[in-house]
Chain A
Amino acid sequence: MAYTFDFASVLEYSDALLAGTVKTLALTAVGTVFGLGIGILGAVSRAWKLSPFDRIFAVYVELIRNTPFLVQLFFIFFGLPALGLQLNEWQAAILAMVINLGAYSTEIIRSGIEATPRGQIEAAESLAMTRSQVFRHVVLPPALLKVWPSICSQVVIVMLGSSVCSQIAAEELTFAANFIQSRNFRAFETYFVVTAMYFLLAIAVRQAMVQAGQRLIARRKK
């Protein structure tokens, strides 16, 4: 094997890699915030059987969890314009990620809510708390805390899955890798560098999520 490694040919494009990293993180951040928002709504609806939302969310969860992310993305980007809904690549990517994380986190958070002991809710009700107060102060924080490790993992999965958005010309990290590779033909070096970057990003995102969990949920629990 007489291959000469040339990592300089990848580092020439460090601007593109940096821009791609920023876009990947931005996609993940927006996707996480809104995805978890949908997840919480869906989890309550399903756990407490709030008709008709529980049925709507049940269909939504099954639909999204049983179809590939890439197909969902293509449907939004290439398909919806036929119905007059024209989303550019970033809107499509964010929408797909929010919808996707929303479905998975609905089920994750629901399991946390359902694990809340009945006595805890009854105790809160006997203190004349309203239903929404019970939910906000007694049910949700411990439920989120219980399932937070699963949510962290799911967010990392979604971040890694955002690489698929390169297919609709959203210029995130994988797009940058493919672009560089199509210009310098250095597949090994390019994908080696980008693999390492994803690895570090995943660790960083997981750490950030753990920190966020401790700050936002654990503190409010008091």
Chain B
Amino acid sequence: MNKRHFLRSLIATALLGTAGLSLHAHADALANAEKAGTIRIAVPQDFPPFGTVGPDLKPRGYDIDVANLIGRELKLKVEIIPVSSTNRIPYLTTGKADLVISSLGKNPDREKVIDFSVAYAPFFNGIFGPSDIAIKTAADTAGKTVGVTRGSVEDLEYSKIAPANATIKRFEDNNSTISAYLSGQVQLVATGNVVAAAVNERTKIRRLDTKFLIKNSPCYVGVNKGEAALLAKVNEVVGKLKKSGELNQVSQRWLQAPLPADL
């Protein structure tokens, strides 16, 4: 009986201790980072144009630029931690990183585990086309020929909202869809902004300008739950970078397009 009681209290103490430790680790990431002079930021290394490994073997991309800008605004040294899309959230929740800037989209499941800042990068499916066609809504695509990759999210979503007299041409893969646009076989394409950016970077035959969004899933900075101070600071910095136009420059550099006004 006594022995049992002792064991129980031992386990309880151990549990409390661990909880206390992890609480301590999370206590105030901003204060800890300021004390260390370094902020640890998880970035992608396998997802162009958000994060890739450059010719100098250093990570580069949209997310790395944003990480460095945030570090500069916080007056902290940035420690870049390359992560993959599967382990980016565990890196944050286990305290190996203070922030995740890794083209992270928001969804209810993720919101249970971590907090999100304001959006810092556009990520969407939409209708793209040349600058001289004025199109603002799905209704404006009436009478137009729109190329799309068969079975893709944008195919399913655009097919629902397309006006009856819009001609949808469905191609086998992104490459055929883009070729059809570049060779003038379709007037518009439905695709992702990252695909459009890659095309605009590589060819100047026919530009892909954003006309309207079909499905929007912008990127947010991930912060651990309970880090109100850090979250507020990140939001403040992202807001400042948007206002100063520096985030727009990052968008121009990596996505070949200005930052959407409503981001």
Contacts and interface: CB of A to CB of B under 8 A. Distances in A.
Interface stretch (A32-40, A79-87, A94-102, A144-152): A79-87
Indicate the size class of the contact surface on chain A: 10 to 19
Given A77-B185, A81-B183, A89-B185, A182 B151 contact: yes
Contact of A167 (B151, B172, B184): B172
B162 to A, nearest CB: 15
Contacts of A167: 171-172, 176
B238 to A, nearest CB: 38
Majority-rule SS of B interface residues: mixed
A185 to B, nearest CB: 9
Interface in A64-118: 77-79, 81-82, 86, 88-89
A178 interface: yes
Interface string A142-182: 00000000000000000000000011110000010011011
A81 B185 contact: yes
B122 interface: no
B179 interface: yes
B195 to A, nearest CB: 17
A106 to B, nearest CB: 29
Contact of A178 (B150, B169, B184): B150
Contacts of A88: 185
Contacts of A79: 183
Given A77-B183, A78-B179, A78-B185, A179 B150 contact: yes
Interface residues of B, number: 14
A77 B184 CA distance: 10
B169 A169 contact: yes
Nearest to A178: B150
B147 interface: yes
Interface in B161-181: 169-172, 176, 179-180
B154 interface: no
Interface string B183-207: 1110000000000000000000000
Given A78-B179, A81-B185, A179-B150, A169 B171 contact: yes
A179 B170 contact: yes
B149 to A, nearest CB: 10
Given A77-B183, A79-B183, A182 B176 contact: no
B155 interface: yes
B180 A169 contact: yes
Contact of A78 (B155, B172, B180): B180
Nearest to B155: A182
25 contacts: A77-B180, A77-B183, A78-B180, A79-B183, A81-B183, A81-B184, A81-B185, A82-B183, A86-B185, A89-B169, A89-B185, A166-B172, A167-B171, A167-B172, A167-B176, A168-B176, A169-B170, A169-B180, A175-B170, A178-B150, A179-B150, A179-B170, A181-B151, A182-B150, A183-B151
Interface of A: 77-79, 81-82, 86, 88-89, 166-169, 175, 178-179, 181-183
In the complex, the 9 A-B pairs of residues with the closest C-beta atoms, listed nearest first: A182-B151, A169-B169, A81-B183, A78-B179, A78-B183, A81-B184, A182-B150, A167-B172, A169-B171
Interface of B: 147, 150-151, 155, 169-172, 176, 179-180, 183-185
Given A169-B171, A182-B150, 18 more contacts: A77-B185, A78-B179, A78-B180, A81-B183, A81-B185, A89-B185, A167-B171, A167-B172, A167-B176, A168-B171, A168-B176, A169-B169, A169-B180, A178-B150, A178-B172, A179-B170, A181-B151, A182-B155
